[in-house]
Amino acid sequence: MGATLEVGQTINIRSIQGIFGAEVIELDPSLALGDADFARIERAWFDHNFLVFRDLVMTPEQHIALTRRFGELHIMTPLHFNLPGHPEIMVLTNAVEEGRPLGLRGAGMGWHSDGEDKRVPNAGSMLYAHQIPDQGGDTLFADMYAAYDALPDTTKRRIDGRRARFSRIDMHEIHYPHLPPLTEAQKCERPDVHHPLVRTHPRSGRRSLFIGRWTRDIEGMDPDAGFALVQELFEHASDPRFVYRHRWRLHDAVLWDNRCMLHCATPFDETRYQRLMHRTTLEGDVPV
């Protein structure tokens, strides 16, 4: 019986902004990724929070297969923003065909991590650039390990062991003033959840600040005082020293870790440009 051969890859990994982010170059998605190479890439992901794969020309099948190496895939709902025939891929775009949107438009504005408002938020997401504007449409990423480490001890003591309330119901009007209010059925689908404000990453063992755009207030605190503290934490978390701006190049794929960072989409001139991104999403774990 012949042994299975793994074709060797020559993969270059280099850091981007201090230890925040690493670039993976020369990965060939048509070649099998050997276990040793994958282990290096996965280690870099945990060490650097996010990976930027450059010049990764890949089909939807290859995008799905690459993401699957990092864990179980999550199928996003509602299903109608997913790629026909490939429900593992969510389409983010302003493109319209015969009056029909080809994906979700205007997604990801405001600092957040994917699935933060669910009981089990998503571990990671891999966003892949199929079409990008000449200007704008950057994505911002913020390092929540560094943000937690840099908090004054008095603030750490105020938040350690506390849980925040994430509420689509209360925050919907604030984030989506242009949309109709949530229906009772939508409210039932997205009940409030509580997550620890400081979470420990299951793989790196490091502590990070866990807040996002659906965070409303803090359990066991007066709602106004909790809201004010959340705003204060946001101001701190989005300080430029923790932020990296990703200026997309065609065929970049960014894999970020929702458990230790925030991200935020930025606008572009939608009258002039089309932007088309495919996203795969990883199942996660209950924050602890």
Ligand X SMILES: O=C(O)CCC(=O)C(=O)O
Which residues of this chain interact with ligand X, rule CB under 6 A? 92, 107-108, 114, 125, 127, 139, 263, 265, 277, 279
Q: Tell me how far, at minimum, the Cβ of 178 lies from Fe ion, in Å.
A: 19
Nearest residue relative to Fe ion (C-beta): 108
Q: Residue 262: which of Fe ion, ligand X, none does it interact with, CB under 5 to 8 A by kind?
A: none
| CB of 82 or CB of 125, closer to ligand X | 125
From candidates 108, 137, 284, 287, binder to Fe ion by CB under 5 A: 108
Q: CB nearer to ligand X: give 155 or 274.
A: 274
Using a 10 angstrom Cβ sphere, with 0-12 exposed, 13-18 middle and 19 or more buried, the burial of residue 288 is: exposed
Residue 109 C-beta: closest distance to Fe ion, Å:
9
Residue nearest to ligand X (CB): 108
Which residues pair with residue 277 across a beta bridge?
92, 129
Q: Nearer Cβ to Fe ion, position 114 or 117?
A: 114
Q: Which is nearer to Fe ion, 114 or 217 (CB)?
A: 114
C-beta closer to ligand X: residue 150 or 171: 171
Closest distance to Fe ion from the beta carbon of 239 (Å): 20
Residue 139 binds what, of ligand X, Fe ion, none (CB under 5 to 8 Å, by partner type)?
ligand X
* Residue recorded with tokens 């990994």: 13
Shorter beta-carbon distance to Fe ion: residue 21 or 108:
108
Based on CB atoms, which residue is closest to Fe ion, 108 or 121?
108
Determine contact, residues 53/41, Cβ cutoff 8 Å.
no
Is 114 a binding residue for Fe ion by CB under 5 A? The answer is yes
Closest contact distance (angstroms) between CB of 45 and ligand X is: 17
- Residue 198 interface partner, choices ligand X, Fe ion, none, CB cut-off 5-8 Å depending on type: none
Q: Cβ 90 to ligand X, closest distance in Å? A: 8
According to the binding rule CB under 5 A, does residue 116 interact with Fe ion?
no
> Please, are residues 225 and 234 in contact by the beta-carbon 8 Å criterion?
no
Name which of ligand X, Fe ion, none residue 265 binds, using a CB cut-off of 5 to 8 Å depending on partner kind. Answer: ligand X
* Residues that bind Fe ion in the complex, under the rule CB under 5 A: 108, 114
